[in-house]
Amino acid sequence: MYQVAVEQALGIYRDLGYRLGQVNALTNLGDVRRLTGEFPAAAQALEEALGIARDLGDRNGQANALSSLGDVRLTGEFPAAARNLEEALAIYRDLGDRGGEVTALNERGTLHLASGELAESERSHQQALELARAIASSWDEAHALAGLGRCAMVGRAAEAEDKLRQALEIFERIGAAEVADVAAELEALLSTMGKA
């Protein structure tokens, strides 16, 4: 339903020739397609958004498209994902967009963990945690805690349990969609620890 609305908005923006609206709609469409597992279609929408944003000199639009494109490429295109996320992070920092910065840091942490770079993952999630707390972003704080918990699963089960519990508590409090996934991760961890 949401995807249909975004596609309709994109059509209207194209009819009007309103390119900034197209950037935003294409980025949202890319995010929706990523969440529904349509990765090639998501990448296509995001690359189009990025191209238009670059043509317009819209740095915020560029950063948003790059950040989302980095997310899409976490499905296996790690070098490209790293380039996208680093570029997004640099733009967010340049613009002073701390919300964008914390999101990119958490995404970078996810990338490093998927790449087997545990220390880099922890460093990114720790930076995200500190920034999320500084800007009072509960959702980003919970993501950072969950990322740190995943990093600690390698040899530090008690710390992993603590971080995942903290993340789960925040996600539950704010009614986030991530509750089920983090609860399942925590349950699996407790099972391996003989606590389930």
- Mean pLDDT along residues 117-130: 97
pLDDT band at 196 (very low <50, low <70, confident <90, very high): low
The fold adopted by the segment(s) 97-196 is: 1.25.40
Cβ proximity of 10 and 27 under 8 Å = no
Question: Tell me: the pLDDT tens digits for 68-117?
Answer: 999 999 988 999 999 999 999 999 999 999 999 999 999 999 999 999 99
For tokens 């969609």, name the residue: 177
Question: Tell me: the pLDDT tens digits for 142-154?
Answer: 999 999 999 999 8
Residue 132 neighbours by CB under 8 Å, 6+ apart: 102, 138, 140, 141, 143, 144
Q: For residue 107, give both structure tokens.
A: 């995404």
For tokens 């349990």, name the residue: 161
Between CA 70 and CA 77 the distance in angstroms is 9
Between CA 181 and CA 172 the distance in angstroms is 12
Cβ proximity of 107 and 70 under 8 Å = yes
Q: For residue 127, give both structure tokens.
A: 């930076």
- Would you kindly state where each structural domain of the chain is located, as residue ranges? 1-95, 97-196
The fold adopted by the segment(s) 1-95 is: 1.25.40
- CB hemisphere CA count around 130 (13 angstroms): 5
Residue-wise burial string across 96-118, b where 16 or more C-beta atoms lie within 10 A, e elsewhere: ebbebbbbbbbbbbbbbbeeebb
Long-range contacts of 145-149 (CB under 8 A, 24+ apart): 145/170, 146/178, 146/182, 146/185, 147/106, 147/109, 147/110, 147/113, 147/121, 148/122, 149/185
Question: Tell me: the pLDDT tens digits for 166-185?
Answer: 999 999 999 999 999 999 99
